[in-house]
Amino acid sequence: MSTVVYLNGERVDYENARISVEDRGFQFGDGIYEVVRVYGGRFFYLDRHLARMKKGADEIYLDMDFGLDNLEKVCRQALKESGFKDASVYIQVTRGAYPRQHTFPPESSCTWVVIVREAKAQPREFYENGVMGITVPDERWNRCNIKTVQLLANSIAKEKAKKAGAYEAIFHRGGCVTEASSSNVFIVRNKKLLTHPANNFILHGITRGVVLEIARDNKIDYSEEVFSLQDLFEAEEVFVSGTMTEVMPIVKIDGKIIGDGVPGEITRSIMKAYDALTKTIDQ
């Protein structure tokens, strides 16, 4: 079992994988990406990730000239060759290499990469006891719904969380919570589950969508609506969601205890339902 890399549809050794210095992903951050989780050899909603990637490509006028069906085929082949049962599959597509200019090249060929690695599970105590978060101003651009490789603001926020001994940094814009540096944010207020609407200020997370489906199927009252920093601090429960994060309870933010200081009832029920899905979904 080993990490597998496919570059432009061909398998290459990890150590020898190379792209051009003129690649627009390297020079401009002109590209998009996805991270897909694999459980027990089964893709967890690969179809939804690829659909979001196609939508993101359309938003930035990027023609994925290699074909989405071909990309899916390579993802599945790379996973098989890796031998991993629990894996993360990283997909990146850029506009390709062309002599540097801000305008899009008249003709270009995408650079596309698939990397399959063994997935490292989060420590169980994180889910059992909850983790800490901090809040930071949301200084990103206004098209957060596009999953681009332009992640400097996210990386700075994540580094601030790390230095504070926290798991995640929660963004706020104009006094309202948007999402976190690498996950979506949910709160429980008056027994109702709330998360920011799926507009241009957040990434429309695949796991976020699954959580909302779980809430619907389990008759949990929920709403997609804007909520404030005060709502966050006064919430009965807080959790974040993401492909590698899964459903992670937050029990302290900026040093303030959330609710009873332990993962709440609604959070635990969603965690349980999500865990059950990871053992059955293969899409």
CATH of the domain at 39: 3.30.470.10
Instruction: Specify the residue for token string 């309202």.
Output: 176
Q: 260 and 213 in one domain? A: yes
Q: 191 and 94 in one domain? A: no
pLDDT digits (tens, 9 = 90+) for 57-74: 999 999 999 999 999 999
**Sign, Cα dihedral of 194, 256, 182, 38:** negative
Instruction: Specify the residue for token string 């990027």.
Output: 62
Q: 140 and 33 in one domain? A: no
pLDDT digits (tens, 9 = 90+) for 170-218: 999 999 999 999 999 999 999 999 999 999 999 999 999 999 999 999 9
Amino acid type, 260: D
pLDDT digits (tens, 9 = 90+) for 10-61: 999 999 999 999 999 999 999 999 999 999 999 999 999 999 999 999 999 9
Q: 141 and 85 in one domain? A: no
Q: Would you say 17 and 5 are in contact if contact means Cβ atoms under 8 Å apart?
A: yes
* Total of domains in the chain: 2
Percent helix, strand and coil across the chain, each to the nearest 5: 30, 30, 40
Q: 81, 100, 118 — which closes off a domain?
A: 118
Residues 12 and 244: their CA atoms lie apart, in Å, by: 25
pLDDT bucket at 281, cuts 50 / 70 / 90: confident
Q: What is the pLDDT of residue 49?
A: 98
Q: Is 78's pLDDT higher than 90?
A: yes
Q: 104 and 40 in one domain? A: yes
Backbone angles phi and psi of 140, in degrees to 5? -80, 175
Structure tokens at 162: 């790390």
The CA-based diameter of the chain, rounded to the nearest angstrom, is 58
Model pTM? 0.96
Q: What is the pLDDT of residue 165?
A: 98
What value does the CA radius of gyration of the chain take, rounded to a whole number of Å? Answer: 19
CA geometry: angle 266, 191, 169, nearest 5 deg: 65
Residues 34 and 207: their CA atoms lie apart, in Å, by: 12
* CB-CB neighbours of 257 under 10 Å: 11
Q: Could you tell me if residue 47 is inside a domain?
A: yes
pLDDT digits (tens, 9 = 90+) for 263-275: 999 999 999 999 9
Q: Is 1's pLDDT higher than 90?
A: no
CA geometry: angle 114, 118, 121, nearest 5 deg: 125
Q: 118, 138, 173 — which closes off a domain?
A: 118
Q: Would you say 177 and 166 are in contact if contact means Cβ atoms under 8 Å apart?
A: no
Q: 135 and 95 in one domain? A: no
Which segments of 120-245 are extended strands (E)?
Answer: 131-137, 168-173, 176-180, 184-189, 192-195, 222-224, 237-242
Q: 118, 148, 179 — which closes off a domain?
A: 118
Range of the domain at 39: 4-118
Whole-number average pLDDT of the chain: 97
Q: Is 106's pLDDT higher than 90?
A: no
List residues with catalytic annotation. 147
Q: Could you tell me if residue 153 is inside a domain?
A: yes
Q: Could you tell me if residue 283 is inside a domain?
A: no
Q: Is 228's pLDDT higher than 90?
A: yes
Structure tokens at 245: 């994060």
Q: 253 and 226 in one domain? A: yes
Pairing of β 168-173 and β 131-137:
parallel
